[in-house]
């Protein structure tokens, strides 16, 4: 699962809230034996502050855990940067997304056909079916090879070509998905917080 913790377009106090909440999430994931990786982040103005953080969290029970943190997070605290500022309520937002479905390379998902190799003008190169065409059924991608003289070698070639194409499509889809999340980082929903923290020590409000 992908998780984005964002300060939206809030001030630096909200960016500090993202940093403090990130520490909570890292600690809780460790306690729950969940694997967590920081995929990227947009730094705030001060040390340990973030305008937005993108995480990947995996493991048994991850969806149940994310239900406890997804939504609006409220931090009630006097501004550490502006002592005379009257505002004390700082909101951050947590959104969870399922990963994009990957194009898997599995022989169960491919259709392999053999045929005679053809030369220029449609002339038969030989009478043996050495040419191989492979179709990836989930995507409809088709690859054909007739460069080699044996069917076995052409089959290995098309399988390698298809695997490379699918890897490329997965990388493109992953990059597009991440870019879409960064575009959304300024989105912030206030009110009805799923968790509330108080004070400079960021203690959860019971």
Tokens representing 192? 């009805």
Is the model more confident about 182 or about 169?
169
Distance CA 153, CA 92 (A): 56
Whether residue 89 lies inside any domain: the answer is yes
Q: Are residues 43 and 73 in the same domain?
A: yes
Whether residue 179 lies inside any domain: the answer is no
Tell me: the pLDDT tens digits for 132-154? 888 888 878 888 877 666 777 88
Range of the domain at 189: 2-101+184-204
Q: Residue 171: which residues within 8 A CB-CB, separation 6 or more?
A: none
Number of folded domains in the chain?
Answer: 2
Distance CA 1, CA 56 (A): 6
Whether residue 122 lies inside any domain: the answer is yes
pLDDT at 141: 82
Under DSSP, is residue 7 helix (H, G, I), strand (E, B) or coil? coil
Q: Are residues 58 and 116 in the same domain?
A: no
Across residues 42-59, what is the average pLDDT?
92
Is the model more confident about 24 or about 160?
24
């Amino acid at each position: 699962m992908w998780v984005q913790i964002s300060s939206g377009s809030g001030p630096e106090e909200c960016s500090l809230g993202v940093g403090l909440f990130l520490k909570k999430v890292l600690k809780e994931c460790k306690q729950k034996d969940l694997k967590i990786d920081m995929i990227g982040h947009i730094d705030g103005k001060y040390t340990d502050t973030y305008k937005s953080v993108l995480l990947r969290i995996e493991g048994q029970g991850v969806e149940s855990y994310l239900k406890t943190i997804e939504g609006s997070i409220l931090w009630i605290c006097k501004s550490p940067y502006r002592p005379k500022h009257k505002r004390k309520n700082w909101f951050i937002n947590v959104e969870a997304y399922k990963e994009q479905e990957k194009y898997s390379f599995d022989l169960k998902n491919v259709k392999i056909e053999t045929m005679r190799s053809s030369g220029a003008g449609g002339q038969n190169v030989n009478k043996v079916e050495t040419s191989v065409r492979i179709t990836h059924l989930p995507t409809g991608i088709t690859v054909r090879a007739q460069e080699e003289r044996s069917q076995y070698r052409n089959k290995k070639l098309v399988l390698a070509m298809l695997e490379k194409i699918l890897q490329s499509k997965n990388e493109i889809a992953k990059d597009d998905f991440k870019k879409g999340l960064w575009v959304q980082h300024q989105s912030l929903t206030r009110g009805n917080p799923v968790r509330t923290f108080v004070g400079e020590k960021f203690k959860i409000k019971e």
